[in-house]
Chains A and B, each alone.
Chain A
């Protein structure tokens, strides 16, 4: 079982709609969860971190964490064409305090 799993996409969402990105992880003891955005040809940029069950909102972004079900999601409201990118889910495992990245989901916002 892969440690951090994401649907590779592409996920196509109309402009103005809500984009929902999902991620599951295998290490039940994981404590920290991150979402990075990576534009083509650029390095990843941290956009959200979440540590507790529930929702965390930052502008148009909402991260959701459910440790019992071992999933973390990212919602992007009022999607814009500039949101088109690859979104990487990352989880800090307790085993060796190493951050494990998923392979990313490509998001395409349709104008």
Chain B
């Protein structure tokens, strides 16, 4: 079954508005979640690592004031795209890090993604 859920799956908004995307881990606690962005026909780009109870770690070139991440509980991380513009239109995907039995390191499981369209 699904390990991670995201909401909403699709959102269309006007330029200048803010959009919040939720990522939830199902049936387990996730101290670390990741946020990715993927433009059409492009590869996954890691935006930030979300740590429960502390500030997110952003990748180089990702504006932390534009992409606000809150990981307030062990099952929920949110990404808020502030003052969205058409160039922010993309597929946003979260993932959770889970140590499976027999695994030497964590494995990442992805949510279904959120398609953002900014008009």
Contact = CB atoms under 8 A, between A and B. Distances in A.
Interface of A: 31-32, 34, 36, 41-46, 49, 51, 88, 90, 92, 97-99, 101-104
12 contacts: A31-B104, A31-B105, A32-B103, A34-B108, A42-B112, A43-B113, A45-B110, A49-B107, A51-B103, A88-B44, A97-B106, A101-B44
What are the 5 A-B residue pairs with the smallest beta carbon separation, nearest first?
A: A103-B43, A43-B113, A92-B105, A32-B105, A43-B110
A44 B110 CA distance: 6
Interface in B78-119: 91, 93, 97, 100, 102-113, 115
Nearest to A101: B44
Contact of A43 (B49, B103, B111): B111
Nearest to B102: A51
Contacts of A102: 43
Contacts, number: 50
Given A42-B112, A49-B107, 19 more contacts: A31-B104, A32-B104, A32-B107, A34-B108, A41-B115, A43-B91, A43-B93, A43-B110, A44-B44, A45-B110, A49-B100, A51-B104, A92-B104, A92-B105, A99-B106, A99-B108, A101-B43, A102-B43, A103-B43
A36 B110 CA distance: 10
Given A31-B104, A31-B105, A49-B107, A43 B43 contact: no
Nearest to A104: B43
Nearest to B45: A101
Nearest to A36: B110
Contacts of B107: 32, 34, 46, 49
B11 to A, nearest CB: 15
Contact of A92 (B44, B102, B106, B115): B106
Contact of B113 (A42, A88, A99, A101): A42
Nearest to A34: B107
Interface string B11-31: 000000000000000000000
